[in-house]
């Protein structure tokens, strides 16, 4: 492998290994910083629109599976509830599509008898 191409490829391989080491080291440093941050979150509702699509049947796609053939179907457009929060201190960004219902209760008087 004494060709110019071989030497060039070997050099690039070594450079890539070094970059991967640097990347992993920086990832670890960032993770430590984020883990030690006392996070001050700024939260936003960032819903995500997903365009619907038509999935052709197996037959339309030229796939013949006999009785197991999958029919065509349509996936409608939909909007996914999503929230994004950004830390005002370290800049960490998190996204979630999980939510919980918040139930607000109010008190009303309860009288003895009718």
CA distances from 92 to 34, 40, 42, 83 (A): 7, 10, 10, 14
Q: How far is the CB of 31 from Zn ion (least distance, A)?
A: 12
Phi and psi at 74, nearest 5°, equal: -115, 135
Closer residue to Zn ion in complex, CB, 54/88: 88
Q: Which of 76, 74, 92 is CA-nearest to residue 84?
A: 92
**25-84: contacts with Zn ion (CB under 5 A):** 37, 39
Characterize the bridge pairing of strands 83-87 and 53-55.
unpaired
Nearest to 95 by CA among 107, 106, 82, 78: 82
Residues touching Zn ion, count (CB under 5 A): 6
The nearest distance, CB 43 to Zn ion, in angstroms, is: 13
Among 73, 89, 95, 97, binds Zn ion (CB under 5 A): 89
The smaller minimum CB distance to Zn ion, of residues 93 and 103, is found at 93
* Interface pick for Zn ion out of 58, 82, 84, 90 (rule CB under 5 A): 90
Task: Provide the binding-site residues for Zn ion, judged by CB under 5 A.
Answer: 37, 39, 87, 89-90, 92
């Amino acid at each position: 492998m004494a060709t110019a191409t071989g030497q060039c490829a070997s050099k690039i391989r070594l450079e890539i290994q070094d970059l991967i080491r640097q990347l992993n080291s920086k990832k670890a440093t960032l993770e430590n910083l984020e883990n030690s941050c006392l996070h001050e979150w700024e939260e936003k509702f960032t819903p995500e629109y997903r365009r619907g699509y038509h999935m052709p049947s197996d037959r339309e796609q030229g796939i013949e599976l006999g009785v197991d053939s999958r029919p065509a179907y349509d996936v409608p457009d939909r909007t996914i509830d999503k929230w994004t929060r950004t830390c005002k201190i370290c800049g960490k960004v998190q996204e979630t599509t999980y939510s919980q219902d918040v139930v607000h209760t109010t008190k009303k008087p309860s009288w003895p008898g009718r």
